[in-house]
Amino acid sequence: MDAMKLIIATRRSRLALWQAEHVMKLLKARHPGLEVDLLPLSTRGDELLDQRLDKVGGKGLFVKELENALADGRAQLAVHSMKDLPAELPEGFSIAAILEREDPRDAFVSARFASLKEMPKASVVGTSSLRRAAQILERYPHLEAKLLRGNVETRLAKLDRGEYDAVILAVAGLVRLGLGQRIRARLDPEDSLPAPGQGALGIECLASRKDVVELLAPLAHAGVTACVRAERAVSRAFGGSCTIPLGAFAELEGNRLRLRALVAAADGRRVARADVAGDARQPEALGELAAEDLRRQGALEILK
């Protein structure tokens, strides 16, 4: 292949830039001599900070501008947190590689309390996620879950100003930003089932760019890819956006996958849970099986 230059489209947040730079380093290490550069972009999701994502268009708000840059040739790849990527990609786009995963769990962050259990009645927990809010309210109905948007640093600043008694964030984002010391507790998946793809990075490109797909292939992690594909299949079965309180988390055990999934009412009063296992070579089929189990338990009624 002739000398080629790759441009990575990325959001401007410090975490998104860390992720893009991480992929840039991996690509340069794998392909010596390859030129790689970043194209930082502002997205609608970054601009609408005072509104709930499910009310203004969902996860696609963080992705559209990056996909536009791929479509018009300003960039050849985009790096995403898989958690932020809608389960259905637009026609012509593909996930060329899903990378090794950081800790996929949710993190409890608070200066005043060591855990959710310790928090007294009417304490305010900040989260941008309906999934996290529903699971908190199911177990601790005496707490108040309040909207918290913005990048990681903005959310921590609001906590530090006393606007919230605690916040729930992804462990992965805090660790990647060197803020792991802020974590008071890593929540067990039994207590807070992660979002599909949480902790994993994905690289998107145009499906037609076989040359780019080929360069990215060595960065893919087979085990994580199987897990994330199973998780995303559950999300896809219910419409594939962050507008619903849905969790899905798969773990590889030998050549088998264990997949836990849940769908909840926003107030946490009704929750359907599935726990299934199957062949790691057929992750989508396992995701469908979990979705079917959730439907049998009334998931569609819960989501209404």
Domains present along the chain, CATH in parentheses? 1-101+199-220 (3.40.190.10), 106-187 (3.40.190.10), 222-304 (3.30.160.40)
Res 2: pLDDT: 45
Res 182: pLDDT: 98
CA distance 160 to 148: 13
Res 45: pLDDT: 52
**DSSP H helix total and E strand total for the chain:** 11, 13
- Dump the DSSP string for 167-236: EEEEHHHHHHTT-GGG-SEEEPTTTSPPPTTTT-EEEEEETT-HHHHHHHGGG--HHHHHHHHHHHHHHH
CA distance 14 to 19: 9
84 classed as catalytic? yes
- Cβ-contact 75, 9 below 8 angstroms: yes
Res 93: pLDDT: 97
Res 27: pLDDT: 97
Q: What is the pLDDT along the chain (304 residues), one digit of tens a residue?
A: 345 899 999 999 999 999 999 999 999 999 999 999 999 998 665 554 555 545 545 555 678 899 999 999 999 999 999 998 999 999 999 999 999 999 999 999 999 999 999 999 999 999 989 999 999 999 999 999 999 988 899 999 999 999 999 999 999 999 999 999 999 999 999 999 999 999 999 999 999 999 999 999 999 999 999 999 999 999 999 987 667 899 999 999 999 999 999 999 999 999 999 999 999 999 999 999 999 999 999 999 998 8
* Residues in contact with 142: Cβ distance below 8 Å, sequence separation at least 6, in sequence order: 120, 121, 122
Catalytic pick among 50, 54, 84, 188: 84
CA distance 203 to 10: 11
Res 42: pLDDT: 85
Residue at token pair 């849940």: 262
